[in-house]
Structure 1
Amino acid sequence: MTRATAIVCSFLLLSGTIATAERNLVPTLDNQPDVCPEQPSEPEWMRNTEARDAYKRLLVQQIYRFQSMGRIVDAQSCACATRYPSWEAAEAVYFERYSTADYWGVVEATSHFRLQANELRKQAMPICEAAGNW
């Protein structure tokens, strides 16, 4: 009987502690990056993309990521300007090749750029870790 009482009391004490901890969590809207705080913002048109067209925004993000990893590997440097340049080059690729593509064409291209970026990431990560920018 005392063991059952101890278990119930422990449970009540623990659940009260968890509930108190949850109430003390304060969400923040601050979206400051951990590295390279001067990263350029996404272009206005991307931030204002309607939900039904979010797949297009994702493609531009993956193009940007692929280009970023490539620049790091090519330069053997992870300076903030190398890793986070303006979005112009990624936008240019999107508008030249994919802005008129259908949904599945964009999805396929997104997957392609994601795979390429992931491969380059393996080489870029140690460079950026050494620079303290990962």
Structure 2
Amino acid sequence: MKHRIVRLTWLTVVLGLIAAPLMAERNRIPSLESIPDVCSERPDEPDWMENIALRDAYQRVLVQDIYRAQSMEWIVETGSCDCSVRFPTWDTAEDAFRKNHAGADRSEMLQASDTYNRRANELRPQAQAICEAAGNW
């Protein structure tokens, strides 16, 4: 009988040690309605981008990459990380897409995405430093 009580006690302790972190981890699961920590009033993507067919998603990705690269460039050029600089309207990214890439095929758009991503990644450390100083990263 004593052996059974000791086993149950150890089992309870072990289960408690396993379950506690799992319960804590469960409380950290983000909701689907996440609110950004900075610049919560961000402009929405254009409707056509949100409703684009899956087979054409690379077009949406290209516009997103243009947007990100432009944002990083503007932060570095202006030395400002105001929300309107970090998260501008989508107009200029859409314009750049239409003027420079609308007639391109999928392969060309994927190459353009790669170019914009590389540019944004080059500028990211400078932009991050500016934004961290402004409390906006």
User: TM-score band, normalised by the shorter chain?
Assistant: 0.7 to 0.9
Q: Which runs of 5+ in 1 are unaligned?
A: none
Q: Which runs of 5+ in 2 are unaligned?
A: 1-6
Query: Cα 1:116–1:9, aligned 2, differ >3 Å: closer, same or farther?
Result: same
The answer to whether 1:82 aligns with 2:95 is no
Q: Distance in 2 between matches of 1:46 and 1:118?
A: 23
Q: Deviations over 1:53-88 (max 9, x none)?
A: 111111100100000000001100101111111100
- TM-score, normalised on structure 1? 0.84
1:26 deviates by 6.8
5 Å-filtered alignment, 1:39-118, equals 39-118=42-121
When Rg is computed on C-alpha atoms for both structures, the one with the higher figure is 2
| Cα RMSD, aligned residues only | 2.7
3-state SS of 1:100 partner:
coil
1:121 deviates by 0.8
Percent identity over the alignment is 47
> Counterpart in 1 of 2:132?
129
1:99 deviates by 1.6
Query: Cα 1:21–1:78, aligned 2, differ >3 Å: closer, same or farther?
Result: closer
3-state SS of 1:125 partner:
helix
Q: Distance in 2 between matches of 1:69 and 1:37?
A: 18
- Dislocated runs of 4+, deviation >3 Å: 5-27
- TM-score, normalised on structure 2? 0.82
> Counterpart in 1 of 2:123?
120
1:12 deviates by 3.8
